[in-house]
Amino acid sequence: MHKVNRTVTALALAILFTGSVVLVGCSSSPNEAQMKQLNDLKEEVASLQKEVAAKEQQKGAMEKEVAEKSAKLKKCNDDQAIVKQRLAK
């Protein structure tokens, strides 16, 4: 009986040892350089997202400016037509 116990214990120890070695030593995690590459890429993407937002805002402001100026120009052309009409009377 004592002999069986010793065998079971030895077997359990062997399984635990092998499992630990396999999990700790043979896992396929990225190394430090690869993690740095990933983080750099994340920062670059975040920076680009900010740049896109800023450019979209700038574009919106320009669209508004161009629309306002176009309206002013149209009014000027309309005014010219009205003045010509009034002068002809």
Partner 1 sequence: MKVNNIFFVLAALLAFALGASAQEMTKDQWQQEINQLTQSRTELSAKVTALGADVTTMQGQSTQIDADYQKCMDGLYALVGSDAAKAAAYSSDIEAAENKANELGRLSDADLVASSGEVDALAANVKGLWDNKLSLIPVFWDRLTALNEKVKSLQTTLANQMKVYTVGTWARDRDCLWNISKKKDIYNNAWLWPKIWQGNRDEIKDPDVIKKGQKLKIPKGNEMNAEEKAAAKKYYARKAAK
Q: Output the CA–CA distances (angstroms, integers) from residue 34 to 40, 44, 45, in the order listed.
A: 10, 15, 17
Q: Which of 19, 32, 33, 36 binds partner 1 (CB under 8 A)?
A: 19
Q: Which of 1, 4, 24, 33 binds partner 1 (CB under 8 A)?
A: 24
Q: Does 37 bind partner 1 (CB under 8 A)?
A: yes
> Length of the chain, please?
89
Q: Does 42 bind partner 1 (CB under 8 A)?
A: yes
- Phi first, then psi: give them for residue 77, nearest 5 degrees: -65, -40
DSSP assignment, residue 31?
A: -
- Smallest gap from residue 1 Cβ to partner 1 (A): 16
Q: Does 70 bind partner 1 (CB under 8 A)?
A: yes
